[in-house]
Structure 1
């Protein structure tokens, strides 16, 4: 899914002012991945990172290069579980949330 600059700017602006929107982006990203839609999950996670922490800060925190993180969350990227869980763990810590899964 390719996003336009205006869409990215809209997401960043909304995330800056709406805590529920930020939380929704993060949880929807993980819900999509857990339900098998890795493409949508990566796209939402990338949007969340761009709108909040940024790839530079995330990269420094988990010991990866920003370009590597951007590639693994791109449409052709294939993040390994260790990297994906490292990203999610850091984002939860930064957001001050603890996400949980629930079987339905």
Structure 2
């Protein structure tokens, strides 16, 4: 389902004014990817990047082509793990947050 322009603008505006929401968007993007929902994770991270650092600046700071980054997080993008985790690490530093993975057993055991 495609998001409407107004919805995207609302999300982008909130990311710029609500630090907790911004941090949750980054966390949710990474969690979605770790749980196997790569398309949702890429979409969340793409929105996060657009609303915070932007693809041009991210490319300059990571020595990556902005066009390559846009493709990486696009609907048909298939980022290599090395590139993806380098970008996530940079986004964490830029946001001054540290994400942690916690293992939990599903079900009764």
TM score, norm. by length of structure 2: 0.91
Secondary structure in 2 matching 1:47: helix
Q: Greater relative contact order: 1 or 2 (C-alpha under 8 angstroms, separation 6 or more)?
A: 1
**Matching residue of 2:100:** 100
Which ranges in structure 1 are unaligned for 5 or more consecutive residues?
none
CA distance in 1, matches of 2:3, 2:51: 13
Total equivalences in the alignment = 104
How well do the aligned residues superpose, as a CA RMSD in angstroms?
1.0
CA distance in 2, matches of 1:4, 1:86: 30
CA distance in 2, matches of 1:56, 1:29: 20
TM score, norm. by length of structure 1: 0.95
**Matching residue of 2:23:** 23
**CA drift at 1:16:** 1.0
Which ranges in structure 2 are unaligned for 5 or more consecutive residues?
105-109
**Matching residue of 1:37:** 37
CA distance in 2, matches of 1:3, 1:55: 20
Distance 1:76 1:8, change over 3 A: same
**CA drift at 1:5:** 2.3
